[in-house]
Structures are given as C-alpha cells and as structure tokens.
Amino acid sequence: MKNSFVCWLFLLGGLVSCNDMKDVPPPTGLPDTGYDTGRMFVLCEGLFNSNNSTLACIDYDAQVLYPDFFNEYGNNSRGLGDTANDMALYEGRLWIVVCVSSQIEVLDVLTGKSVRQIPLFAETNDGRQGRQPRYITFHEGKAYVCSFDGTVVRIDTHTYEVEAVTTCGRNPDGIAVANGKLYVSNSGGLDGSAGMPYDETVSVIDLVSFREVKRIEVGMNPHHIQADSEGDVYVVARGNNADLKARFVRIDSEADTVAQSFDDLAAVNFVIRNDTAYMYNFDYQYETYWIKTFDCREEKVISEQFVTDGTTFSKPFGIYVHPLTGDVFISDAKTYDRNGDVFCFDRRGRLRYKIEEIGLNPNSFLWVDR
C-alpha cells in the first residue's frame, strides 16, 4: 500500500492468484470535467489478501468511467491480482506492480489488453517465494523494480525478461533514478511491524555495475522517493506513527549525502511536478491531515494549505499533478474498506470536480493523451 497503515502486508504468508472476473458492470457517466481530454488511470489496490485490485479509467473524450478498465475495456477475463501498489507508463505500455501476487502486469495502454505477466519469485531453501514487488522506475530501456525481499530487479522492456537482480536494504519501499544511479528507500517495514527496528537508509545503486555502492542514513522508515530537475533526491522518512513523526529529506545526488532535513515537514506522501512538491500528512492517531506545496529550488514551503475552498477529506491516500494542466488529483481512502473518491483541484486549490467511489483504496494516478 501507499501509506504506512499497511502493517497488514508484513503478515504476508502465501501468495494469492488472480480470480476469473465474469460479471463486469457497464461504464458509468462522469460529472462535468470541463476541458479535460485523454484518459486518467487510477490504480486501486484493494485489500490485502482479498485479490481485488482494480484499474479504473476516466475517459474524458468519451465522458465515461470504467471502474474496472482491465476487464471492461481490455476484456482480460481475470482480475489484476492482490494489492497493486504502483504503475508507470513506458513506450505505450502500462506497467502495474502487484505486490502480494508478486507479478508485474504489462498492458497496452490504448486497448487495455494484457501484453505480459512478469512473475517475480525467488528460489529459496523453503521453495519458491514471491519477492513482493513495490515500486517501479525506468531508465534507457530497462525497468527497475524494488521488492520487499530486499532486492531490485532489472527487466528488459522489449523482451520482458528479468536480466539481473541486486540487493539493497531491508524491505525497500520506493525507487527513483538520478544522476546515473538508482536510489532505493529501505523501510524495514516488515521488521517494524513485528516490533523490531525499522531501516533508516537509502541505497545508492550504480546503474552500470548494478551494484549497491552506498547507503545514506535519512531517518526512520523511508518510503516515497523522487528526484527534481536539478538531480536532488527527496524522500519521506515516515517515522513510527507514534512518538517519532515523519520528515522530508533532500539528498545531494552528486555527493550522495543528506543535504537538508526538514523536520517540520511531516509529509507521508508527495509528488514533484515542475520542481514543486505537492505533499500531504495524515496523522493516524488523531485522524488529522494537511496538504502543502513546497518549492524544490528555493527549498521552502510555498503554501501551508493547498486546498483553498474548504473541501475536506477523510484519509488522503494518493496525490498526482496533471502534466499539462497542472490540476492536482487527490484520492480519499475514506475507511479503507469501502470505495474511495477522487478529487480534482485547479492550481489555486479550488475543487473542479469529484468522482465518488472509484475503487477500493485508490493510490496512484496516470494521465495518458490518446
């Protein structure tokens, strides 16, 4: 999952296969979305061990919503699998990371048809075990996927074959490319949920040798990680959801050292667009939140409260910025066990429209121009 309440995943025992999906509902209409065009994909992870991840598609040109695009449009006659955590677009293919099923699902982004399933398993003394992939990034024809088993795999994006596997820290939970290197946030979350110490490091992996060359201490339980246009790498260290709160950290990718630690920015999730970071915090103890914007060039907060029109959320769960319009999309997981909502805001933080009950725990967005 995208947020730290995911301690469920650390109880992982077996893997769950994909169910057949026979009764597919028809697409539904959309509210007035104004000038929007193309498609917005929304990945919904579902519930752990429930095998109910879905991929929703907001088709602005047709003015319809496909809550289960994988079957409604792609006619794949099966589900995505158990706990889809991340997705990314590369060369016309939509790559979806399905953690508990230990699969990478590759779709044709126009037709929705499955092109390939890439299983990520390891041979151990106890048999074949899933790596539990979490996040994905791309560089020069290769896909890089970090997995909870402490590895990063390199996949050729044309043959879909796993070329190499390297090790990093404990339970990696985020991955980014900057300055010819991979940066992998090591959460140690499996250990943390069992009362053992979290990891506190980011692994630096050289892309040429595909070997870890350094670990950078950034703070407890690092998660989301992303680079800006200047090559700075930002990561959120989520703390322990109790006495140690989250913080926002900047890594210098030239020196591979922590350049700044923003201890007053307890962000748990963020996205960078045009060197502005849109971030939010959610306090699980008090169920309070904030949503802020941050200038990655000036290294300072732009706005203490992005939403300006009084719109409220139950539990912010995902955040995304439209690459052309600058609109900001925020998902609300509500109670985690019922379908969440999607909100679209303009650049000034005013609500443009809301799509209700798009899927269970919507965590990621991706816009595609048809």
230 pLDDT band, cuts 50/70/90, is very high
pLDDT in tens, 319-341: 999 999 999 999 999 999 999 99
Q: What is the pLDDT of residue 24?
A: 55
User: Which segment of 11-25, 44-58, 210-224, 275-289 scores lowest on mean pLDDT?
Assistant: 11-25
Q: What is the pLDDT of residue 28?
A: 80
Q: Is the pLDDT of residue 38 over 60?
A: yes
pLDDT for residue 124: 81
Other CB atoms within 10 A of residue 208 CB = 7
Q: What pLDDT shows up at residue 4?
A: 39
> Is residue 23 very low, low, confident or very high in pLDDT (cuts 50, 70, 90)?
low
Q: pTM above 0.85? A: yes
Q: What is the pLDDT of residue 285?
A: 85
The pLDDT of residue 121 is above 70:
yes
| pLDDT for residue 242 | 74
- The whole-angstrom separation of Cα 272 and Cα 249 is 14
Query: Per residue in 65-82, pLDDT tens?
Result: 999 999 999 999 999 999
Reported as a pLDDT band with limits 50, 70 and 90, residue 25 is low
**Quick one: three-class SS letters along the chain?**
CCCCCHHHHHHCCCCCCCCCCCCCCCCEECCCCCCCCCEEEEEECCCCCCCCCEEEEEECCCCEEECCHHHHCCCCCCCCCCCEEEEEEECCEEEEEECCCCEEEEEECCCCCEEEEEECEEEECCEEEECCEEEEEEECCEEEEEECCCEEEEEECCCCCEEEEEECCCCEEEEEEECCEEEEEECCHHHHHCCCCCCCEEEEEECCCCEEEEEEECCCCEEEEEECCCCCEEEEECCCCCCCCCEEEEEECCCCEEEEEECCCCCCEEEEECCEEEEEEEECCCCEEEEEEEECCCCEEEECCCCCCCCCCCCEEEEEECCCCCCEEEEECCCCCCCEEEEEECCCCCEEEEEEEEECCEEEEEEECC
Q: What average pLDDT does range 204-217 have in this prediction?
A: 98
Whether pLDDT at 184 is above 50? yes
Q: Is the pLDDT of residue 20 over 60?
A: no
Rounded Cα distance, 305 and 293, in Å = 8
